Amino acid sequence: MKQTNEKRSQAYTLDEVELLFDISRALDKSLDLREVVEPVLDALTVHTGMVHGALTLLNRNTREISIYQAVGLSESQQKKGRYRLGEGITGKVVESGEPAVIPRISDEPQFLDRTGAFTARNMKDMSYVSVPIKLGREVIGALNIALPCEEREMLNKRLRLLAIIASMIAQAVKLRQSVQEEQERIIDENLRLKQELKDRFRPSNIIGTSHAMQRVYDLIPRCARATRRC
């Protein structure tokens, strides 16, 4: 009986299935990640009632985490959403690769509210869920949502759903990275071929030092001697 109940608790609701379908469809629409993230966050808003949602990505060079795209945050608030690895909830999730569930933001001292959105709108009494976005073992960012306070059991369901969505986003990022890398490879190859052709047919080669021109020069005195004989 216990096993049956666990299976039921793990089953998807119709609303969750619709959400996953909407997100899958959104991710298929474009290879431009920025064009598909907003529809994904919009779908989360419709199906979960979240108030704020954000996709954050880790910059491999600076090791800084910043908001790539968000809903419920102004442009200036998004620019403030920057974290070092291990800093705040987002920084810890990206650093550890482990999700975080906060039933009430006001009870969590590590919640920094770097954007200022929660303080500005007096929304400290909210729940918060953050899941890592992974490419293999590499954590490339985090998906965060804030919504009206919910019980722990419900938040665990949100966590399970967000983990699936984060995996879908990771696959989309991987696909787009592969396409971008292939495009860059083609561009580099074209540049290499152009340079090779340029070197092969540069004026100095054509006028005096190419093998073909040397053969022509060798024939000139022979032709001159043959002409004098005639």
The residue that leads in pLDDT, 101 or 228, is 101
pLDDT average, residue stretch 176-195:
75
117 shares a domain with 32: yes
- pLDDT score, position 214: 64
For residue 92, what pLDDT band results from cuts at 50, 70 and 90?
very high
Closest CA to 142 of 47, 38, 79, 68: 68
Residue 52 lies in a domain: yes
Q: Report the C-alpha gap between 29 and 20 in whole angstroms.
A: 15
Number of domains making up the chain: 2
pLDDT average, residue stretch 152-181:
82
For residue 177, what pLDDT band results from cuts at 50, 70 and 90?
low
217 shares a domain with 174: no
Q: Give the range of the structural domain holding residue 139, as residue numbers without chain letter.
A: 2-182
- pLDDT score, position 4: 44
For residue 6, what pLDDT band results from cuts at 50, 70 and 90?
very low
* Secondary structure class of 91 (helix, strand, coil): helix
The residue that leads in pLDDT, 35 or 65, is 65
pLDDT average, residue stretch 204-217:
58
**Statement: residue 191 has pLDDT above 70:** yes
212 shares a domain with 143: no
Rg of the Cα trace of the chain?
30
139 shares a domain with 79: yes
* Secondary structure class of 112 (helix, strand, coil): coil
100 shares a domain with 213: no
Q: Report the C-alpha gap between 168 and 80 in whole angstroms.
A: 27
- Residue 56 forms beta bridges with which residues? 67, 142
pLDDT average, residue stretch 68-92:
91
- What percent of the chain clears pLDDT 70, i.e. is strictly above it? 75
**Statement: residue 206 has pLDDT above 80:** no
The interaxial angle of helices 152-200 and 14-27, nearest 10 deg, is: 10
Handedness of CA 59, 65, 71, 73 (dihedral sign): negative
DSSP label at residue 53:
E
- pLDDT score, position 24: 83
Closest CA to 105 of 93, 87, 92, 117: 117
**Phi/psi at 141 (5° precision):** 170, -165
Least confident span in 57-61, 97-101, 195-199? 195-199
Angstrom distances, CA of residue 209 to CA of 92, 172, 195, 221: 64, 52, 18, 17
- pLDDT score, position 130: 95
pLDDT average, residue stretch 71-76:
88
Residue 188 lies in a domain: no
Angstrom distances, CA of residue 110 to CA of 89, 93, 137, 156: 6, 12, 25, 20
pLDDT average, residue stretch 65-87:
90
125 shares a domain with 30: yes
91 shares a domain with 33: yes
**Statement: residue 212 has pLDDT above 80:** no
88 shares a domain with 43: yes
DSSP label at residue 13:
P
* 34-55 pLDDT per residue, tens: 788 888 888 888 888 888 899 9
pLDDT average, residue stretch 188-207:
69
**Phi/psi at 109 (5° precision):** -65, -25
The residue that leads in pLDDT, 52 or 198, is 52
